[in-house]
Chains A and B, each alone.
Chain A
Amino acid sequence: MNWTVAQRILGLLLMFFSLTMLTPLIFSLVFRGEAWLSFVESFVLTLSAGFIIWLPVRNARKELRLRDGFLVVASFWIVLGLFGALPFYLTHNPAMSFTDAVFESMSGLTTTGATVLTGLDTLPKSILYYRQQLQWLGGMGIIVLAVAVLPMLGVGGMQLYRAETPGPVKDTKLTPRVTETAKALWYVYLAFTILCVLGYLFAGMNWFDALCHAFATVAIGGFSTHDLSLAYYNSTAVNLVAVVFMFVAGINFSLHFFTWRYLNVRHYFDNPEFRAYVFVLVSVSVVVIVGLLWTGTYADPEDGIINGLFQAVSIATTTGFTTADFPSWPGALPVILIFASFIGGCAGSTAGGIKVVRCLLIYKQGVREIVRLVHPSAEIPVKLGRQAVPVRVIDAVWGFFSVYLIVFGVMMMAMMATGLDQVTAFSAVTLTLNNLGAGLGDVAAGFVAVNDSAKWIAITAMLLGRLEIFTLLVLVTPTFWRR
C-alpha cells in the first residue's frame, strides 16, 4: 500500500473540490447575498483540509497501484460526502443537523436525488444551485473530471478512472491516454448539459431553473428547485425535454463519443446494450401507459400518456423526477416502476442500478441453460452482439449480482430494525442503492420523516450504489489490507 501517494492525491482532489464551492458564491452574491458566508467558510475549510493532507507528502511521487486506486476513490468519496455537507451544515436557512447535511450532500453527489429538505421554493438560490451542482459533478464523476484537468495524476489516472466508472468492463479506453478519455467524456457531458439548458429555456423555464434542472437531468440525479419537482411547471414541453435528456444520459457515453467522432449513428444500433436499454424503456412505458389508460386513473388520456411516459423513463433510468403521484397509481404499476430501476441505465452512463448490460448477460445465461437442457453437449458461448463474452466477465457479473442482492437484504433488514415498516424499508433501500431517489411508502416525499440511523444506512447505500459496491466493499476485506 502506497499511503503517501494516496494521501497526496486525496489532498489534491480535496483542494480541487474546494474550488467548486466558489460558483454557488456567485449565485449567492447575485441573489441578495444569502448564505454567502457559509460558502466562504466551507471553501476555506475544505481548501485548508486538503492543503494539510497534501503538505507533508507533496513530494511522494510513486506510481499508483491498483489497490491504491480503490483506496483513493473510496476514501475520497467518503471525505467528499462530509466536506460537501459543510455549506448545508453551516448555513442557517435551512438549519440542518449534521446527519441531514451529510445525507443531502451524499444524495447529491451519488445522483440519488432523495432529499431531507422541504420548502425548497423558499430556500436561498445559492443553496439550491449548490445541490444541483453536486449532482452534476457526481454524475460523470468528479474524479474523472480531476483526471481530465489535473495532469499530474498521470498513469495512476487509469486506476482511479476504473474504480469510479460504472460497468462490468472498464478497460475500454476511448483514446490511448486516460486524460484524453476523461476529457472526451466531460466534453460530451458538457455538450449535453448545454443542450439541455437550451431545451428547458425553450420549453419555458427561467434560466436559473433551466440550468439547475439541466444539471440534475444529465446527471440522472433528480434534485429539483421546487417541492413539486417537475410537476411545478405542469408543462408537456418541459416533461418531453426531460424525457429526451434522461434517455440520452442513460446511454453509455462512449457511444455518444464515437457518434460524435465518426459522425455516424450506427454505433448506437450496433450496440446490444443500447438496444436492450431501449427495449426496457419502451416496454415499461407501454405497460405503464396501458395500465393508466385501462384503469382510467387520469380523466384526460393525454395526461395518462405523458405522465406514464415521464415516470417510466424517470424511474427506469434512476433519475427520480416526478410529475405525478406515482406511488398511488393502481395495481402493480408502482412496483413495476421500482423494479425497473434495478436494471437502471447503461454501463458508462451517469445512471444507477445494476446496469442494463449486466442484466442482459444474466438473461442470456438463463437462455443458455435452457438451450443446454435440450442440447446437453452443445458448446454455447454467451455473446454480446457478435462477440463472445469472456468467462471472467460473466463470473464478475454474477459476483456483482449476488453481492448486490445480499447488500440489499442486509440494508433492508437494518432499515427495518430502526423502526421503518416493510414497504418503506424496501423502497428506501431501492431508491438509495439504485441511486433512484423517488420511493414508495413513507419515503415517497423524501427522507424528512425518517430517523437518523436509517439515514446513515441510506447514506452508506447511496455510496455503495454509486461506486458499484466493490470499490467500497473491497476496503473492508482483510485481503485488501494484507501486505
Chain B
Amino acid sequence: MKILILGAGQVGSSAAYHLSHEEANEVTVVDMRPDVLRELQDRLDIRTVVGHAAYPDVLERAGANDADIIIALTDSDETNLVACQVAYTLYHTPTKIARIRAAEYMNAKALFTQDAFPVDLRISPEQLVCEYVEQLILYPGALQVLEFAGGRVRLVGAMADRNGPMVGQKLSVLKQHLPNAEGRIAAIYRDGTARELQGDTVIEEGDEVFFVAARQDVRVFMSEMRKLEEPVRRVVIAGGGNIGLRLALALEQTNQVKIIERDPRRAKIISEQLNKSIVLVGDAADEELLLEENIDNVDVFCGLTNAEEANILSAMLAKRLGAHKVMALINRASYVELVESGTIDIAISPQQVTIGSLLAHVRRGDVVKVHSLRRGEAEAIEAIAHGTKESSRVVGRRIDEIDLPRGTSIVAVVRGDEVSVAHHDTVIETDDHVIMFMTDRRKIERLEELFQVDVAFV
C-alpha cells in the first residue's frame, strides 16, 4: 500500500515507523524541516520530501498521484484539511485521514462531507488520549482498557497480584470461578515475553494478564486477577493543556478534580471553561503545593503536560508523597520502557494510542479496529468475516479449523449484539466481528490474507 504521511512530528514519525516496518507498505513522509526528515530517513526505509504539506507540487513530488492513503498529521488543522482537499480534488486519493485538534472543527460534523472537506477519518490524538485515560480511571487496577465492537467488548490488561483468587490457579479453573460471565484470558506476559496459553497454564503473581470480557463483566474478571480497588474519587491532573482540560471536563461530574497549571493566563482560561474542578496555579513538581492539596489522599495523579520529563518527575514525586496511583504521559518509547518497571504505575504513550486508529485503515480485509499493544509488538484486531465457506478461509469453519499464524488467537466473536467468548468449536459466520490477539505483529500479513474474500468466488 502506498502511504503518504504529512508532518514528521511525534505522531507522524511514529506512524511512519510502524507503517514502514510492515513489508507491504511504501511510505513517503513530507515535512518542512529537512533536518528532521534526514534523521528520520536514516532510521527508516522511507522516502522523504521537503516542502509545505498542502501544496499541490509538493504532494505531486511525494507521489500523491498513485497514493492509496494520505494521512495528514501536521500540527495545523488547517493544513491538514487543505491537504486532504487537494489530494481529493487533484489526485482522487481513495482514503484521506486528517488529524484535527480543535474540538470546534471536530464537532461540526456537517463539514466533513465529500463536497466540503473530504476527510474519511478524523483523528484527534488529544481526544484519543483523553478517552484512554478516562477508561483507566473508570477501571482502577487496569493497565490498559481497549474497546471493540462499539464498546460491547473490552480488552483489559492488568497486573496479577497475590490477592486475586485466580493467581496460582490453572486457566481451566476460571470457568468454575465465573460460570455466568462472558470472557476469557487473551494473553499472559511474564518477564516481558508472551506465554503460550494452555488449560494448565498457571497465572503467577506479577504476570501481565490481558483478558477480553463483555462490558458488564469486566469488573468481575478484574477481581479474579487482583484485589478490586475502590472506585477513583480524587484526581489531580498536572498540566492544563488540551488533554488536561478535556480530561477534567470529562471527569468533573463524577470525580473531584484538581488541575495544576503553571501559566496564570492559561489557568484563567481553563478555569472559565470548567465548572466544578479546582484550577491551581503553580508547578506540578512543587512539593509544598502538592502537600497543601493533600496529595496523600489522591487516588490518581496524571502528569499530562507537554514536557514528558516534567510528567515523569512530577508523577514520581506525587507517588513518593503518597498518591495511590500515578500516570505519566510519555512520548519517547525508550522512556516508557524505563519508567514502567519503576515507581510510575502507568505510562501513557500517545503514539501507541493513536497508531491503532490509523492501522485499522491500512489493513487489508474489513478491519474495524486495531489496538497497538506493548509498544507495537502485539496487536489486538477486530475484523469482520465476509463471504461464504467457499470464498472465505474463515467463514463456516470452527476456530480450531482456521489456519491462524503462530501467536495469534481468536478471543471473542460478536454476532449482532451478542458477545460470545471463542471456544475451539465456535463456528464463524458471515458478518461476525472476530476479535483477535496477536503476540507477534510480524505475522500480520498472513492474518490479513486470511480475512480477505477470495475474489474468484464472489
A169–B354 Cα gap in the complex (Å)?
Answer: 34
A180 to B42, Cβ gap below 8 A? no
Tell me which of A158, A171, A177 contacts B26 (CB under 8 A).
Answer: A177
Contact with B along A425-467 (1 / 0, CB 8 A): 0000000000000000000000000000000000000000000
Q: Which residues of B contact A154 (CB under 8 A)?
A: 45
A195 adjacent to chain B (CB < 8 Å): no
B69 adjacent to chain A (CB < 8 Å): no
B44 to A155, Cβ gap below 8 A? yes
Report which residue of A66, A155, A390 has the largest number of chain B beta carbons within 10 angstroms of its beta carbon.
Answer: A155
Tell me which of A66, A157, A171, A390 contacts B45 (CB under 8 A).
Answer: A157
**Measured between C-beta atoms, what is the minimum distance from B450 to chain A in Å?**
22
B47 to A176, Cβ gap below 8 A? yes
Contact with A along B8-33 (1 / 0, CB 8 A): 00000000000010000011100000
**Measured between C-beta atoms, what is the minimum distance from B22 to chain A in Å?**
11
B47 to A158, Cβ gap below 8 A? no
B44 to A171, Cβ gap below 8 A? no
Contact with B along A56-96 (1 / 0, CB 8 A): 00000000001000000000000000000000000000000
Name the residue of chain A whose CB is nearest to the CB of B3.
Answer: A176
B interface residue count range (under 10 / 10 to 19 / 20 to 34 / 35 or more):
10 to 19
Summarize A's interface: helix, strand, loop or mixed.
loop
A66 to B42, Cβ gap below 8 A? yes
Summarize B's interface: helix, strand, loop or mixed.
mixed
A390–B34 Cα gap in the complex (Å)?
Answer: 10
A178 adjacent to chain B (CB < 8 Å): yes
B45 to A158, Cβ gap below 8 A? yes
A396–B38 Cα gap in the complex (Å)?
Answer: 16
Q: Which residues of B contact A390 (CB under 8 A)?
A: 34
Known: A175-B26, A177-B26, A180-B26. A155 touches B41 (CB 8 A): no
A173 adjacent to chain B (CB < 8 Å): yes
A176–B3 Cα gap in the complex (Å)?
Answer: 9
**Measured between C-beta atoms, what is the minimum distance from A183 to chain B in Å?**
12
A178–B45 Cα gap in the complex (Å)?
Answer: 6
Q: Which residues of A contact B27 (CB under 8 A)?
A: 176
Name the residue of chain A whose CB is nearest to the CB of B47.
Answer: A176
**Measured between C-beta atoms, what is the minimum distance from B222 to chain A in Å?**
38
**Measured between C-beta atoms, what is the minimum distance from B45 to chain A in Å?**
5
A173 to B47, Cβ gap below 8 A? yes
Known: A176-B46, A176-B47. A171 touches B28 (CB 8 A): no
Contact with B along A25-45 (1 / 0, CB 8 A): 000000000000000000000
A175–B47 Cα gap in the complex (Å)?
Answer: 7
**Measured between C-beta atoms, what is the minimum distance from A294 to chain B in Å?**
48
Contact with A along B326-346 (1 / 0, CB 8 A): 000000000000000000000
> Could you name 15 residue pairs across A and B whose Cβ atoms are closer than 8 Å?
A154-B45, A155-B44, A155-B45, A158-B41, A158-B42, A171-B38, A171-B41, A171-B48, A173-B47, A176-B20, A176-B26, A176-B27, A176-B46, A177-B26, A180-B26
Q: Given A158-B42, A180-B26, 12 other A-B contacts at CB below 8 A?
A: A154-B45, A155-B44, A155-B45, A158-B41, A158-B45, A171-B41, A175-B26, A176-B2, A176-B27, A176-B45, A176-B63, A177-B26
